[in-house]
Every structure is written in structure tokens, then in C-alpha cells.
Homo-oligomer: A and B are copies of this chain.
Amino acid sequence: LTGELRIGIAGLGTVGGGVVKVLTERAGSLAGRAGRPLKLTAASALEVPEPLAPMLAGVPWYEDVHGLAIAPDVDVVVELIGGAEGVARSLVEAALGAGKSVVTANKALIARHGHALAATAEKAGVALLFEAAVAGGVPVLKALREGLVSNRFGRVYGILNGTCNYILTEMEQTGREFSEVLADAQALGYAEADPGTDIDGWDTAHKLAILASVAFGIPVNLDAVYVEGIRSVSSVDIAFARELGFHIKLLGITSDGEGGIEQRVHPCMVSLDTPLAHVNGVLNAVVAEGDLVGQTVFEGAGAGERPTASAVVADLVDIAANRGAPPFAVPVADLKARPVQSMDARRGEYYVRLMVHDRPGVLAEVARIFAGAEVSIESVLQRGRAPGSIVPLILTTHDTEEAAMSRVRKQLASLPNSAEEPSLIRIETF
């Protein structure tokens, strides 16, 4: 705990640049809080963005990023390259193996290999921290791991992807369709040119798998996550949701139930009176239900240069101040795999939208299918009539099981009067 904490940074994109700036501009304040200086002693990247050049003058440069893992004057490697495999993975493995601590914002890497990497870190007696990987600037992993350490969690859920939340919020506020809003979001830089990781739910799944591990003491298990994105959410659904008293949000939900650990990502209808219903735009929010504290909400910026840098630097200060904690809250040997609750066992209410040819008898056919699966209908909505043309038919159900709803959906899809794939959105009560 004497001398400076020597930091090697790998990757100088948006987040890397933010980290360099914060470390440089706030060196004095950070040293005061950490108890010793934090110093950049090595860097590696494909190129140095112009504004960073003065801050990196004099910092030893590594053409091969793997050099950071064996550099003698580096205590911590900050990995900001990204990707679950390739250079990011091999760098982190090499750094931990060489007895260096690692800080990363890489959710894909931690969601895929977190357990193995934590084991390597533990063996080497070094830190592996990734606060920035979940909910960006909101220190929710630290809260679950340390602040709420004495709680047993029943459920943890949240809005974990700012791009999806921005798109859904825009769709709701403007009435426009998904594809239009996505195009705008791409133009504004809120969505990537290749948006699949975000809008198909994978980014949320990575973060959820990490949250589930920290909350429930299980090895990260990305393969156990049920994933559905927001491409099929239509402005019609959002309008009907509003009418029924709901917002539509893409949530990650994990819970510890009788059947095991549940992990699922999909669009949800949430009641207007839950805290998550009012989390709009690019914001993130996580709700943790602890048996001692009850429902605790953490909300804030989920991405971006400065919020992410805030989290990365906080991890570095923790390491500098020697505030250690097991990466997943408990020692690796105590992480115990648990049964996976199948999606088929999900219980709750459902919203179903059919696009049907408006002909006599359609409702009777639909009702017969629900009855056949023993799914009880709570409400039916149909706006306007347009005999012969295609109209939306909206149904909500009472509490039922996913398995039954899957059967219903399949049968609805094959109705002669059904004009397109039925849309099904789960209603979540918190």
C-alpha cells in the first residue's frame, strides 16, 4: 500500500480515452481518496486519438498488447478492447496469470469466461473487477457484493441496455415504428451500425448473467439465459400497453425459485406504478430484492465515455486502496452451479396481439384455442371494424404458464384468419 499503483491500459477507444482523462485530470483527488497515487505506466492500442497524445506523452507504449501482461512496472491491466474472445481474453488471462490485477468493462468476456478468470485471479491473489460491465456508471455490483452483503436475494431485475430503452421510449413518445427509430438512434450514435448485440437482447443477457452470479453465488452461466430482443415490438403494442396501464421495457430478470435459478431477457409490460416504468431514454436501472432490505433500486447512466470511465476508475481506486473482494462476491470454490429454471415454467400474465382478417367467427376461433390450452382470458380489445381487411386483436390472460402460452401461440399462428405471426409480450408484476 505504498508507492503508486502502476496502471497499464489496453484500448484507447471511447472508454479508454475517458479513463486516461480522468486519471490525468483528477490525479490529486484520486490519490487523496486511494491513499496513494494512480499512475499510467503503460499503454497499448491500435492508435492514439489526437486529444490523448499529450496525456500519454512519456507513457511507455506497447505495440503488442500482450506486453502489458509481462511489463515489470505494471500492477493492474485495464482491458478496454472488448469481445469475449481473441485479444481481450488472451490479454486478461496472461495478465492474471502473471500476477497482475485486471479491471475491465468487458461484459461479454466476463459473461463467457468470468468463472475461469476469477479462479485464475484468486490463485494469483490479485483483483479482477468489472463494475463498468453492468449498468455503466451505477455502482450496482459493488452494492450487491459489499453494501448488501448480508442479504439473500430473491430476485434481481432491470433495464440494462440503454439503446433498447432509448428506442422503446422514443417509440412510445412519438408513436413511430421500431425500424424508423432505430435508424435515428444509429444516426445519433445511440445505436451501433450493427445493432444486433443490443436490440436482440445479448448485451442485456451478458449483464444479467453477471448479476445472477453475484446475487446468487452461481458460476456465470450465459447459456442458461433465455433471450428475446425488441425487434418484434410494434408501435401498436406500445399504444395498447399504454391503454392497459403498462409501459413496454426490455428487462433482464433473474430469480431464485423452487425450480432453480431463472434468467430471462425479453420485452415486458410493466405497470405504470413500478419504479422501472419511469426509467426512460438511455438510462439503466437495477432492482435488487434482498430479504433484509426489501426492494432496492439503483438507477443512472448505463453507458458512455464518462459514466463508464467513472466505474473503471472506481475499480482502480479500490485496488489502490487495497479494498479487495471476490469478483463474484464469494470465493470461487463457493460458487455453486444450481438447476436452471426452464422458461417453460415461467408463470404470469400475457399480452397477445393478433393481426387477423376481420371476418365473422374469428374471435370464437381464437377463444377456442385459449380454452383448449386452459388459458383464461382476462380482456379482449378490438378497435374499429374493417370487414375483410386486417385488424389487430388484443388479448390479455390471467396467470398462466409459459408452456401453455407457447402452445397457444403456435395454434394462433396457424389460424387461417391470422395474417402474421402473433406478438406475445409477458406482463411482469413487481
Please report A residues at the B interface, Cβ cutoff 8 Å. Answer: 22, 26, 30, 32-34, 131, 136-139, 142-143, 146-151, 273, 275, 278, 285, 290-301, 306-307, 309-311, 313-314, 317-318, 321-326, 329-331, 334
Taking a contact as CB atoms closer than 8 A, the residue among B34, B278, B318 that contacts A273 in the complex is B278
Question: Chain B contacts of A313 at CB under 8 A?
Answer: 149-150
Residues in B with CB closer than 8 Å to A30 are: 149-150
CB-CB under 8 A from A296, the residues of chain B are 137-138, 298-301
Minimum C-beta distance from A163 to chain B (A): 17
Picked from B32, B146, B300, B318, the residue with its CB within 8 Å of the CB of A139 is B146
A323 x B278 contact (CB < 8 A): no
* Given known A32-B330, A33-B329, A148-B139, contact A293–B321 (CB-CB < 8 A): no
Q: Which residues of B contact A275 (CB under 8 A)?
A: 275, 278, 299
Contact of A310 among B148, B307, B322 (CB under 8 A): B148
Bound complex: CA of A414 vs CA of B314, how far in Å?
55
Whether A300 touches B301, Cβ cut-off 8 Å, given contacts A149-B30, A290-B310, is: no
Which of chain B's residues has its CB closest to A23's CB?
B150
**Inter-chain contact A293/B318, CB cutoff 8 Å:** no
Assembly CA distance A334 to B139 (angstroms): 24
9 chain-A/chain-B pairs, Cβ below 8 angstroms: A22-B150, A136-B293, A137-B148, A139-B148, A149-B317, A292-B307, A297-B299, A299-B299, A321-B324
Which residues of the other chain, B, contact A306 by a CB distance below 8 angstroms? 291-293
* Separation of A314 and B322 alpha carbons in the complex (Å): 17
User: A275-B278, A278-B275 in contact; A138/B317 too (CB < 8 A)?
Assistant: no
Q: For residue A322, which residues in chain B have a CB less than 8 angstroms away from its CB?
A: 322, 324
Contact B293 A138 (CB under 8 A): yes
A314 touches B148 (CB 8 A): yes
Across the interface, A309 reaches (CB within 8 A) one of B131, B278, B292, B294, namely: B292
With A275-B278, A292-B137 as contacts: A310 and B22 at CB distance below 8 Å: no
Leading 5 A-B pairs by shortest Cβ distance: A139-B147, A137-B293, A296-B300, A292-B310, A297-B299
| Nearest residue, chain B, Cβ from A307 | B293
Measured between beta carbons, the chain B residues less than 8 angstroms from A299 are: 275, 296-299
With a CB–CB cut-off of 8 A, which chain B residues contact A143? 139, 142-143, 147
- A310 to chain B: closest residue by CB: B292
Contact A300 B294 (CB under 8 A): yes
Closest approach, in angstroms, between the C-beta of A323 and any C-beta of chain B? Answer: 4
Give Cα distance in the complex from A248 to B306, angstroms.
33
For the complex, what is the distance from the CA of A306 to the CA of B151, rounded to whole Å? 10
Residues of chain B contacted by A334 (CB below 8 angstroms): 32
- Complex formed: what's the CA distance from A321 to B146 in Å? 10
* Distance between Cα atoms of A310 and B292 in the complex (Å): 6
Closest to A318 in B: B146
| B146:A292 contact, CB within 8 angstroms | no
Contact for A293 among B149, B273, B301, B324, CB less than 8 A: B301
In the docked arrangement, what's the CA distance between A293 and B307, Å? Answer: 4
Q: Which of B136, B297, B317 is within 8 Å of A150, CB to CB?
A: B317
* Further pairs besides A150-B317, A296-B299, A297-B297: 9, Cβ < 8 Å: A139-B147, A142-B146, A146-B318, A147-B311, A150-B314, A290-B310, A292-B306, A294-B307, A298-B298
Q: Is B137 within 8 A of A294, CB to CB?
A: yes
CB distance from A276 to the nearest CB of B (A): 11
Measured CB to CB, the closest approach of chain B to A306, in angstroms, equals 4
- Residues in B neighbouring A136, C-beta threshold 8 A: 293
A22 and B148 CA atoms in complex are apart in Å by: 12
Report the bound CA distance from A292 to B305 in whole Å: 9
Q: What is the CA–CA distance of A314 and B296 in the complex, to the nearest angstrom?
A: 15
Q: Which residues of B contact A329 (CB under 8 A)?
A: 33
Closest to A334 in B: B32
What residue of chain B has the Cβ atom nearest to residue A316's Cβ? Answer: B150
Q: Could you say which residues of chain B place their CB within 8 Å of the CB of A314?
A: 146-150
How far does the alpha carbon of A248 sit from the alpha carbon of B275 in the complex, in Å?
18
